[in-house]
Amino acid sequence: MAGSIMIRRIEHQDVPALFVVRVATRENVLSLDQLASLGITEATIHEAIEGSHAGWLYEDQGRVVAFAMGDYEGKELTVIAVLPDYEKQGIGGQLLTQVENWLKSKGCDEICLSTDLDVKLRAYGFYRKWGWVDNKIEKGNRYMCKRLN
């Protein structure tokens, strides 16, 4: 399997595969219709990566199995998604580090994200492990931030 696993920057041709991963996550599950109602469509992702967003994906034998994206204008981690079969392998942390390093290179000294209120979900522990701290709770979401030094 050597050489079949790789992390690389997201490109336009990857966008459809991102949605396959995003709707298959174990936590914070959203359907394509729910994502669209939030303004997240293939078209808006194409626009985002032409603008202030960038992301990295994890491929296993050419199949996208995880990805993360950030927005330097919003100073935020916008999404991280990992297929259930690839959880607990360090992939999320590698992708998170890529996005954080990119955001730092774009001049962000503090970044934020929004996540579920439930601290029992794996996502909350994951973010805490990587140095994110609670900032506020608003409109049914937990906001966490991290200083990039």
Give per-residue pLDDT as tens, 21-79. Answer: 999 998 888 888 989 988 999 999 999 999 999 999 999 999 999 999 999 999 999 99
In contact, 64 and 20? CB cutoff 8 Å: yes
The pLDDT of residue 15: 97
Q: What percent of the chain has a predicted confidence (pLDDT) above 70? A: 97
Predicted TM-score (pTM) above 0.75:
yes
The pLDDT of residue 30: 87
Using the predicted structure, report yes or no on whether residue 149 has a pLDDT greater than 90: no
Q: Can you tell me the distance from the alpha carbon of 55 to that of 77, in angstroms, rounded to the nearest whole number? A: 10
The pLDDT of residue 2: 47
The burial of 131, by beta-carbon neighbours within 10 Å (0-12 exposed, 13-18 middle, 19 or more buried), is given as middle
Residue 110 — pLDDT band, cuts 50, 70, 90? very high
Cα-Cα-Cα-Cα torsion 90, 54, 43, 64, nearest 10 degrees, comes to -30
Q: Phi first, then psi: what are they for 4, rounded to 5°?
A: -95, -10
Residue 104 — pLDDT band, cuts 50, 70, 90? very high
